[in-house]
Amino acid sequence: MAYTLKASGLATNLVACLGVDQDDTTVKDFVTANSITHNASIGSPVVGTATWKSVSRGWFKTDQGADAFSPRGVTWNATKPVVNSGSGASGWGLIVIVNALVDATGGFFLEIGGESHSIKRDGSGKLVVRQASTDQSASTTSIGTSTKLTFGCNVLYGGTNSYFYGLESGSLSTDGSYTDAGFGTNGLDLDLFGGVSGNGVGRGNYHLVAVKNAPFSLGEAQSLHDDWVGTLFDGAGGGAGFDIQRMTQYPNTLLRM
């Protein structure tokens, strides 16, 4: 069977949800009508599995081409998700669950209507929201390599916006903030996860990329960090990726069968 987003709760507020389907092979955006391409030039293995909080979960890979200015990741096709962060809009939020990153510093994770609006890391490895070609204040904690973790951020016009960070072995928490100086633009498309063409890459293995057209509360972000499958998906019966650990570790958030 395939994972299907729930018809209630947090899942209904997502405008994009990248991950690996229950077959542990298919990379997709689970939001209806959001078609994607997982770049064919990514070096093998392009997908795999790893434990997250003792449960086997699929991951997908992003890479680079000839150099760090040629990202190879996930691109959205004809129907692109749209985020709204301009004046009067509800803002948006990003949560990314990582199996491992390759590069310790720099690089871009998410391209939003081009390089001038993007999510990146600075030279210290800290998360940065880039708006209208201006880097906002960075997060508190450097995002390390070869470490299972969750990171994220909120983007709300004129507001004080939280960053999120947490190791797989622990809980998620807010990780500093920045005050948006009004660098908001409504109706920006999500273009690419894994880098920004001509600027940099965010090479790594990722379990989940969730984008919501409203800021994430800490509780919502924590639920994804703890068990994004149980939080977001219905319809995942037996087969690849289903095991007894899920039944014992998450008895209250099991996938409905």
Confidence (pTM): 0.91
- Taking residues 106-114, report their average pLDDT: 92
44 assigned to some structural domain? yes
Q: CA angle at residue 8 from 28 to 79, to 5 degrees?
A: 35
Domain count, the chain: 1
Q: Answer yes or no: is pLDDT of 241 > 90.
A: no
- Taking residues 53-67, report their average pLDDT: 97
- The per-residue DSSP string of 110-168 comes to EEESSTTSEEEE-TTSBEEEEETTEE----SSB--SS--EEEEEEE-TTSEEEEEEEET
- Taking residues 133-162, report their average pLDDT: 94
253 assigned to some structural domain? no
Q: Answer yes or no: is pLDDT of 155 > 70.
A: yes
8 assigned to some structural domain? no
251 assigned to some structural domain? no
Distance of CA 118 to the CA centre of its chain: 13
CATH of the domain at 65: 2.60.120.200
pLDDT at 186: 86
Q: How confident is the model at residue 212 (pLDDT cuts 50, 70, 90)?
A: very high
249 assigned to some structural domain? no
87 assigned to some structural domain? yes
pLDDT in tens, 20-51: 999 999 999 999 999 999 999 999 999 999 99
Look at residues 199, 180, 183, 222 and name the one whose alpha carbon lies nearest to residue 95: 222
Range of the domain at 90: 14-230
Name the percent of the chain lying above pLDDT 90: 81
7 assigned to some structural domain? no
